[in-house]
Structure 1
Amino acid sequence: MFKKIQQFFNEQLTLQDSDGESQQPKVDLAAAALLIELSRADFEISTVEQQAIEQALIKTLGLAQTQLNQLIELAELENKQATSLFEFTRHINEAYSSAQKFELLKALWQVAVADGDISKYEDNLIRKIAGLIYAPHSDFIKSKLAVINR
């Protein structure tokens, strides 16, 4: 599995951080894994939530469909092996600005409302993620209202 992830990063996504190590693929994978984790929070995986994940990733990352499919596949594998959200949120904290974190929160809310209902589990998970990415509570509320009121 590690070779598959590394191959995807090397072939599809490149952005170097200050150490010369590729950073953006980790962030993309982390964001995708958080969206996937949210879709599973209410113990019901719906196709509309899966479509919302794809739309959010296409909008924010600008990936082609084949790259998107590979990223989602890898994010699902990472998500199954993860022991905590910190494994994903630390990459977000290292790379995202406040504005990007706000957009991530909006994407999370879009996935949560995709099936027409925000479960208490989804709300709680987004609240937890917002805390882990050090987003102000006001951003948590504003992002929710922005998605619900559109």
Structure 2
Amino acid sequence: MLERVLSFLKELPSSGAAGSAREDDPRIAAAALLYHVMDADGLRQDVEWDRMKALLGDEYDIDGDELDRLVKAGQNADAEAVDLYAFTSVLKRHLDEQQRIHFIRMMWDVVYADGEVHELEDNTLWRVAELIGVTSRDRIAQRKEAARDVPAAKGTPTEE
């Protein structure tokens, strides 16, 4: 299965959002993980999809066809993956500590986009944070910051 993901990533066009389309492209890894957390509860809502695309567009300063290619590459990579390690290992290699914490915040922003945190989304965030070396303290701090932007959200933490 991992070989199919790597093969897919190598076959991506060399222009546009995928850039050099290497198997270790952190943009594709980020897109795959954001897609994965969005889909974790089994309900892909337009507000989550729109938030994911906006975050990726802002983060990588892309839009239009470039953004669509990146989102599609992330979606396809996630569909082919057997676990999260292929993506988290790429982010851990390419991002420094503050960038990894920022990525966790991006994931919480996608989770809170629909105003509700599902236990599977929460668990996915916990696993990703552990795999990329973000402490529980930083993960929870990012969750609380994201929750403050959605005060009526269900599953908003008070104290953890």
Q: Which interval holds the TM-score relative to the shorter structure?
A: 0.7 to 0.9
Q: Deviations over 1:69-94 (max 9, x none)?
A: 00111111111110000010010011
Percent of aligned pairs with the same amino acid: 22
Matched residue, 1:18? none
How many pairs are equivalent?
A: 143
Q: Which runs of 5+ in 1 are unaligned?
A: 16-20
Q: Which runs of 5+ in 2 are unaligned?
A: 150-160
**Paired AA for residue 65 in structure 2:** T
Shift of 1:64: 2.4
Shift of 1:6: 3.7
Q: Which range moved further: 27-36 or 135-144?
A: 135-144
Shift of 1:4: 7.5
Q: 1:107 to 1:14 in 2, by over 3 A?
A: same
Q: Quick one: distance in 2 between partners of 1:94 and 1:4?
A: 17
CA contact (8 A) 2:10 2:22 kept: no
CA contact (8 A) 1:5 1:74 kept: no
Aligned pairs for 1:1-150 (under 5 A) are: 2=7, 6-8=11-13, 10-12=14-16, 13-14=18-19, 26-150=25-149
**Paired AA for residue 141 in structure 1:** I
Structure 2 residue matching 1:63: 3-state secondary structure: coil
**Paired AA for residue 52 in structure 2:** I
Shift of 1:3: 6.7
Tell me the TM-score normalized by structure 2.
0.82
